[in-house]
A and B are shown apart, each in its own frame.
Chain A
Amino acid sequence: MDELVAQLKEWRGALERALPWWWHRAIVVALLAFGVVLPFLVSPAGDFMNATVIALAYVVMALGLNIVVGFAGLLDLGYVAFYAIGAYCIGWFGSGFFFRAHVHVLVSKVASTLPGIHLNFLLILLCAVVITSVAGTLIGLPTLRLRGDYIAIVTLAFGEIIGVTAVNGQDIHLGGGQTLTAGNLGIPAVDPPYFPGIGQFTQLNLRPWYWLIFALVVIVLFVNLRVRDSRLGRAWIALREDEVAAVSMGIPLVRTKLLAYAMGAAFGGMAGAFLGALYTSVNAGQFAFAFSIFVLAMIIVGGLGSIWGAVVGALSLSYINYYLIPDVLNGVPKDFGLNFNLTQLSFGIYGFLLVLVMVLRPQGLLPERRRRLELTEAVGGGETLLEEPS
């Protein structure tokens, strides 16, 4: 086993030496190009396309949660709250839900004749980012003096509060017969994104949805990568490693932690608004605790604190959940003459896969450089040096 690992390492080293210095960039460009043309390779409204769009929204979520949990080390179990708030942003500002209001900003001809608040999708995204950042900061405040498990409990409670508020929001009257949410009935007929010149998105063609969320993923990835390798990213890791030492070395605790919460929340809100529009309704039932765990599982499977790990984790778990189990393998038990669908087992399959990953690869699929270093060096010891990606 050790020999095999050593051999693999040697091959990898040889491969890296053989490749030109720009191969990192070449891979990025190739991935981007592949991402852009992918919709042309599959049916525009098929199951795979649908799963891909959802998966990319989860990538944004995972990248957001990774900032809070992975970088800053603040175990947030209430991430669903930001999904909910983001989704309600589109429910409130992009549908006829507030039927007494007549506000229309840069929306399609159809929408501009309807009652309610109808803002352009990008404006709603902006609203979602602002509102969830504020919400993230608010949830951050009571956890500032807490550590580890205690943070988890407070954030868990916050997620539940938002979830319960969403369910009971139909009894919170805002005047004129309007309520805060539509509870489990859901806010129906959310405006699909509309852009002048491109037109209105429809459920019949998911390609525009795909490119929109792909663009968001690229932006969020870029922001993540830049921030990780910055003064702020370093400060987060220092706080995660040793809070006392970090503040003694001049890192402002409150500002730095709240920035992590706010940024993580903002990405969650962004993805939430997108998913709200994609599902065309905002239903309180969507915002369950299991969602927080789902996203947390993505970043743990991917490798906590690793940006590319979060991407891979989110993609793989989403594809398993939204494509592989319901669409590809769903009928397998029937083929064996068993009387159930695989979907009914999805949580079991899921749990099994998680356990498998944690046993075989506890550091995650694509572990963060530091963690990889810790694990390998602790075994190897000695003089191993960091390879600086050039």
Chain B
Amino acid sequence: MDVYAPSAVRTELPNGSGELLLRAERITKEFGGLVAVNGVSLDVPRHSIVSLIGPNGAGKTTLFNMLTGLYKPTSGHIFFGEREITRKRPDVIMSLGLARTFQNIRLFGAMTALENVMIGRHSRMRAGLFGSIVRAPWVRREERDVRELAREKLAYVGVSESRFEQLASHLSYGDQRRVEIARALASDPSLLLLDEPTAGMNPQESSALTDFMRKLRDELSLTILLIEHDMRVVMGVSERITVLDYGEKIAEGPPAEVRSNPRVIEAYLGKQG
């Protein structure tokens, strides 16, 4: 398995950029006796789209939760750019430029679409308790600017303006997905983690989202790490794919390579013959 060690991977990056935005080194997460993620290393080059795939229960979301700080890894290190973010608080990691969406949409249901996106900007705002009470001119300006920015983000992800002031819980499923992405984008992150963004979408919507992910990367110079089950999306959009099974990394590489990897086929289809 040493071929998957970070140093080995770095030499064979598809874009040849060589610069890694996110680097996880042999991270492990144990819940009691259960090892959910076992010594997984992951590299995400800047401006790439990387997919994380694997059967249900393979540890993909657990890995996401460690990257975003919701779980503390039992061992291993995570680097974001030059900085080590292992064991940092989720809000700190977010403010460093790593934003995410959730597998089961987690919007703030009692807030409007616009307010949801404004929350996404929280870490970039400065107004504190006293600033809010006094409502100094700069606080007003900040509030107005963030509102404007939230509108832009919502429009960017394709939410129609008539929905901006609706409660998130009353939006259609597709709009909720879009608002969640807008909320993640509100902090102007450099890395976007999408947890099964096409879940519950039909093929047309999935393919639109695939295009949208490319657009995000190119226009906002984002890097995207994606958990996805829809193989058409995965194969169509990713430059690299990492495959997890039973908490371990079983394959990694460009789509064509991963697709023909016998261990991947085995994990998905069972042993043949």
A residues with a Cβ closer than 8 A to B are 222-223, 226-227, 230-235, 237-238, 241-242, 244-253, 259, 263, 370-371, 373-374, 377-378, 381, 383-386, 388
Q: Is the CB of A248 within 8 A of B100?
A: yes
B112 within 8 A of A: yes
In the assembled complex, the CB of A203 is this many whole angstroms from the nearest CB of chain B, namely: 34
Partner of A252 from the list B91, B108, B111, B119 (CB cut-off 8 Å) is B91
Interchain CA distance A261-B95 in the complex, whole Å: 24
Instruction: Say yes or no: A227-B91 contact (C-beta < 8 A), given A234-B115, A245-B106.
Output: no
B84-109 vs A, CB cutoff 8 Å, 1 = contact: the mask equals 00000111001100011010001111
> Who on chain B is nearest to A222 by CB?
B133
> Who on chain B is nearest to A305 by CB?
B110
Apart from A247-B70, A248-B70, what are 5 other A-B pairs with CB-CB below 8 Å?
A: A230-B139, A231-B132, A250-B123, A381-B170, A386-B166
Instruction: Say yes or no: A231-B111 contact (C-beta < 8 A), given A238-B119, A374-B167, A383-B162.
Output: no
Interchain CA distance A11-B78 in the complex, whole Å: 60
Q: Is the CB of A241 within 8 A of B129?
A: no
Q: Is the CB of A232 within 8 A of B119?
A: no
Q: Is the CB of B109 within 8 A of A250?
A: no
B116-160 vs A, CB cutoff 8 Å, 1 = contact: the mask equals 001110111101110111010001001100000000000000000
Name the interface residues of B38-89: CB closer than 8 Å to any CB of A: 68, 70, 89
Q: Is the CB of A252 within 8 A of B143?
A: no
In the assembled complex, the CB of B156 is this many whole angstroms from the nearest CB of chain A, namely: 17
Q: Which residues of B are found within 8 Å of A234, using beta-carbon distances? A: 111, 115, 118-119, 122
Q: Is the CB of B108 within 8 A of A386?
A: no
Interchain CA distance A10-B165 in the complex, whole Å: 21
Interchain CA distance A247-B128 in the complex, whole Å: 17
B183 within 8 A of A: yes
Interchain CA distance A381-B187 in the complex, whole Å: 31
Instruction: Say yes or no: A226-B123 contact (C-beta < 8 A), given A238-B108, A245-B102.
Output: no
Q: Is the CB of B127 within 8 A of A231?
A: yes
Q: Is the CB of B110 within 8 A of A370?
A: yes
Q: Is the CB of A385 within 8 A of B166?
A: yes
Partner of A241 from the list B100, B111, B128 (CB cut-off 8 Å) is B111
Instruction: Say yes or no: A231-B125 contact (C-beta < 8 A), given A226-B132, A252-B91.
Output: yes
Partner of B108 from the list A237, A383, A385 (CB cut-off 8 Å) is A237
In the assembled complex, the CB of A132 is this many whole angstroms from the nearest CB of chain B, namely: 16
> Who on chain B is nearest to A245 by CB?
B106
Interchain CA distance A251-B183 in the complex, whole Å: 13
Q: Is the CB of B187 within 8 A of A250?
A: yes
Interchain CA distance A246-B95 in the complex, whole Å: 13
Interchain CA distance A234-B132 in the complex, whole Å: 11
B169 within 8 A of A: yes
Q: Is the CB of B165 within 8 A of A251?
A: no
> Who on chain A is nearest to B183 by CB?
A249
Q: Is the CB of A250 within 8 A of B95?
A: yes
> Who on chain A is nearest to B105 by CB?
A245
Interchain CA distance A235-B125 in the complex, whole Å: 12
> Who on chain A is nearest to B142 by CB?
A231
**Number of residues in B with C-beta < 8 Å to the partner?**
44
Q: Which residues of A are found within 8 Å of B118, using beta-carbon distances? A: 234
Instruction: Say yes or no: A247-B90 contact (C-beta < 8 A), given A259-B129, A373-B167, A377-B167.
Output: yes
Name 22 A/B residue pairs within 8 A (Cβ), A-sorted.
Answer: A230-B131, A230-B143, A231-B125, A231-B127, A232-B129, A234-B115, A234-B119, A234-B122, A241-B110, A242-B109, A244-B70, A247-B89, A247-B91, A248-B100, A249-B183, A249-B184, A250-B123, A250-B124, A259-B129, A374-B109, A386-B165, A386-B166
Interchain CA distance A235-B120 in the complex, whole Å: 10
Q: Is the CB of A386 within 8 A of B94?
A: no
Chain A CB within 10 Å — which of B99, B111, B124, B184 has the most? B111
Q: Is the CB of B112 within 8 A of A250?
A: no
Q: Is the CB of A246 within 8 A of B119?
A: yes
Partner of A248 from the list B94, B109, B127 (CB cut-off 8 Å) is B94
Q: Is the CB of A251 within 8 A of B91?
A: yes
Q: Which residues of B are found within 8 Å of A263, using beta-carbon distances? A: 129
Interchain CA distance A233-B139 in the complex, whole Å: 14
Interchain CA distance A374-B111 in the complex, whole Å: 10
Interchain CA distance A235-B102 in the complex, whole Å: 19
Q: Is the CB of B111 within 8 A of A370?
A: yes
Q: Which residues of B are found within 8 Å of A245, using beta-carbon distances? A: 102, 106-108
Interchain CA distance A389-B43 in the complex, whole Å: 49
Interchain CA distance A357-B58 in the complex, whole Å: 50
Q: Is the CB of A244 within 8 A of B106?
A: yes
Q: Is the CB of A231 within 8 A of B143?
A: yes
Interchain CA distance A374-B112 in the complex, whole Å: 11
Partner of A226 from the list B135, B166, B184 (CB cut-off 8 Å) is B135
Nearest 10 A-B pairs (CB), nearest first?
A250-B123, A230-B132, A250-B94, A245-B106, A241-B108, A386-B165, A247-B90, A370-B110, A231-B127, A252-B91
Partner of B170 from the list A235, A251, A253, A377 (CB cut-off 8 Å) is A377
Interchain CA distance A246-B122 in the complex, whole Å: 10
> Who on chain A is nearest to B114 by CB?
A386
> Who on chain A is nearest to B109 by CB?
A241
Interchain CA distance A231-B169 in the complex, whole Å: 21
> Who on chain A is nearest to B108 by CB?
A241
Instruction: Say yes or no: A250-B91 contact (C-beta < 8 A), given A235-B119, A374-B110, A377-B170.
Output: yes
Interchain CA distance A98-B119 in the complex, whole Å: 49
Q: Is the CB of A251 within 8 A of B122?
A: yes
> Who on chain B is nearest to A377 by CB?
B170
Interchain CA distance A244-B132 in the complex, whole Å: 25
B183-217 vs A, CB cutoff 8 Å, 1 = contact: the mask equals 11001000000000000000000000000000000
